[in-house]
Structure 1
Amino acid sequence: MSLLSQLLTAVSDGRVEIVDLTAPLSERTPVLRLPEPFANTARFRLEEISRYDDRGPAWYWNDVVTGEHVGTHFDAPVHWVTGRDGEDVSQVPAARLVAPAVVLDASERAAADPGFLLEIDHVRDWEKAHGPLPDGGWLLYRTGWDARCGDEETFLNADETGSHTPGISAECARWLAEETPVIGLGVETVGTDAGGAHAFDPPFPCHAYFLGAGKYGLTQLQNLDRLPARGAVLVASPLPIVGGSGSPARVLALVER
């Protein structure tokens, strides 16, 4: 039996589970809002073309209006000024969209402190327990924030001082991007950076360091609690938008049970 036949058999008999890590995409999907004078992305919406009516009696279809960075989405290097000479989303090699993934669970810390920041020592402690970060793979950072995705106010968790969501310190972001073999960072929050990262040095360090290093980001993931600490295979499927800085994506994980 070929390797692919073995995989299909394992999926059909339940030995390999396919876990959907993608948040539903609708007009209610939370969207990052930037303060003035910065421009903001369009929210997701469907504009009906026809629905079994005079406009088209046998078919239903819509136009889609959305920003590249709405809902569960993929950040390509060109999204950030530090990666401006890097790949757009259409140029990301297909082989890099299927890769091993590990899950670092900081959900208890984030529950106690919405502004919790992952530090290098937290990652090193994880490695002592679970082994090294995967060469050519993804670090998926679980904070439990996906439980808030049904309500934009609690998901963005903002007040007059700004947004308060968990993330990664500037020092840790630089280390992960420049000194570890991972190809990308996946998070459950609206972006790869912490809510207060505008005040970090540099601002938005996950974007600055990861995309500047030619690596990638995935945001607004769900169901990371259903993945093992290591051993999953992640499949990311952004649209190959020519010149695109990113794309909404369907993100799946294959888990051996």
Structure 2
Amino acid sequence: MHRPSTTSAPVADLLSALASGAVDVVDMTAPLSSATPVLPLPDGMAPIPRFQLEELARYDERGETSYQNGIHTGEHVGTHFDAPCHWVTGVEHGDVSQVPPARLVAPVAVIDRTEQVAADPDHLLTVEDLEEWQAEHGPLPRGWLFYRTGWASRSHDQDLFLNADEQGPHTPGLTAECARWLAEETRVLGLGVETVGTDAGQAFTFEPAFPVHHHLLGAGKYGLTQLQQMSQLPTTGAAVIVAPLPIVGGSGSPARVVALVPRTNGAVL
């Protein structure tokens, strides 16, 4: 098998930028523990189990030199990846183990609506918002769209994060038409959000219900949730690496998500 004797120029350039600090690696992943917020699902949908560790050995009679645990979790807990088969509309597009690796490393565009969400937690992103974004920044990439809302600041507290009352959760998301447009009219691979799920808190009342799941997963695209440090990303020009477990038959997986962010004058953009 032929192996190149030297690192190819594009990879060498990236390694040089990482080594010099010209590119920063930003961890966008929420810590995963039994305290990680979990979305309560409507009646008729099976509940999502919380993350739990089961201690198997801790330098004791069960293994004097080792510490190890079993893990018990739902696929859709914490910072996690939604595969197309998570929704009935996306069954034919495969499970998380079938996602092409090339789609797990991609450019990212960021749309910021933190001010609007601070004024209205039920704020919904519209087609017009994204058309205005494109008029200023160019077409959405064949990569990820990250929807910055500031909601990650609530992730330390289940009640603040879910923001629920007798009407259900109140968290930002997309209109049903925006979800359809993003799925059918753009090249994006998927949507990343800071909230507990890719849909708005009140999306169970939309038509169709949970339209981001319905349209994006139905189009063979993906979802990422509970992202952190979105403020560290520029509007364009960064890339993300998404690393879900390749669970055979899995509808999703907890994921480690890191962004490669260029520096300007020694500061992350």
- Shorter chain as denominator, the TM-score bin is over 0.9
Which residue does the alignment assign to 1:172? 178
Aligned residue among 88, 113, 118 for 2:120 = 113
Are 1:143 and 2:149 matched, yes or no? yes
Match of 1:256 in 2: 262
Q: What SS does structure 2 have at the residue aligned with 1:9?
A: helix
Please point out which of 4, 10, 20 is paired with 2:11: 4
Which is worse superposed, 5-14 or 203-212? 5-14
Of 222, 229, 235 in structure 2, the residue corresponding to residue 229 of structure 1 is 235
Residue 245 of structure 1: aligned partner = 251
- Offset of residue 126 of structure 1: 1.2
User: Cα RMSD between the aligned structures?
Assistant: 0.9
What one-letter code is carried by the residue in structure 2 that aligns with 1:38?
Answer: M
CA distance in 1, matches of 2:218, 2:128: 23
Partner of 2:139: 132
Offset, 1:6? 2.2
Once the two structures are TM-superposed, the CA of residue 225 in structure 1 deviates from its matched residue by 0.5
Tell me the distance in 1 between the aligned counterparts of 2:11 and 2:144: 23
SS at match of 2:93: coil
Q: Give distance in 2, aligned partners of 1:35 and 1:174.
A: 23
Select the residue among 96, 104, 115 that pairs with 1:97. 104
Q: Does 1:50 align with 2:66?
A: no
- Deviation per CA, 1:134-157: give whole Å up to 9, x if none: 0x2110000000000000000000
Q: Are 1:192 and 2:182 an aligned pair?
A: no
Deviation of 1:71 after TM superposition, in Å, equals: 0.2
- Residues 167-203 of structure 1, C-alpha deviations (whole Å, 9 max, x = no match): 0000010001101111100000000000000000000
Tell whether 2:35 aligns with 1:28: yes
One of 14, 22, 35 as aligned partner of 1:15: 22
Q: How many residues align?
A: 256
Q: Deviations over 1:109-156 (max 9, x none)?
A: 00000000000111111112211100x211000000000000000000
Match of 1:201 in 2: 207
More displaced stretch, 204-213 vs 80-89: 80-89
Matched, 1:77 2:84: yes
The normalised TM-score by structure 1 is: 0.98
Structure 2-normalised TM-score?
A: 0.93
Of 50, 56, 67, the residue aligned with 1:60 is 67
Q: Structure 1 residue aligned with 2:189, among 179, 183, 187?
A: 183
Aligned to 2:225: 219
SS at match of 2:41: coil
Q: Which AA in structure 2 matches 1:105?
A: D
SS at match of 2:237: strand
* SS of residue matched to 1:57: strand
Partner SS for 2:184 = helix
Q: 1:193, 1:36 → 2: CA distance?
A: 17
Paired-residue identity, %: 63
